[in-house]
Amino acid sequence: MADPSEDYEILDLARYSNGKKDWVEKIFGDVTKQSAAKQVVIGGVAGWGAGFLFIKVGKMAAASLGTTILLLQIAQHQGYIKINWTLVEKNLNKAKSEMRSEAKKRYPGIFANMQKFMQNNIVLATAFAGGFFFGVAF
């Protein structure tokens, strides 16, 4: 059997950069060292984009989940399926506790780190929050 890597060309982008900064760094640099006005603009635009995407993805997720629940209820009411709700609740609680413990192991100080970043970059964080809520509104 032939080696699968022979069928495809591997594109190593690091080879083309020649140690230069990427386009994001060229444009923005270290944002935390920029003027307050530039931090507000960058934070606001990034927040707006995040909020806008949050709403669009959230609407699709809510519609998918709602449709699934509705179809399950109809199927159960018509007698096509029988759902053991106590088992569903038990499994959901187990999954929730496993997710919490795994998150604590993998990301031990993420909340403290975010809080420290926001305190050190209050202008950028505030602009991001404002832009996020503005994006959610539209």
pLDDT of residue 72: 86
pLDDT of residue 25: 64
Domain coordinates in residue numbering, the chain:
35-137
As given in the structure block, the two tokens for residue 52 are 């806008």
CB 95 within 8 A of CB 13: no
Q: What is the pLDDT along the chain (138 residues), one digit of tens a residue?
A: 455 555 656 655 555 555 555 665 666 667 777 788 888 888 888 889 999 899 889 888 888 988 998 898 888 889 898 888 899 899 999 999 998 888 778 777 777 787 787 788 788 888 888 888 888 877
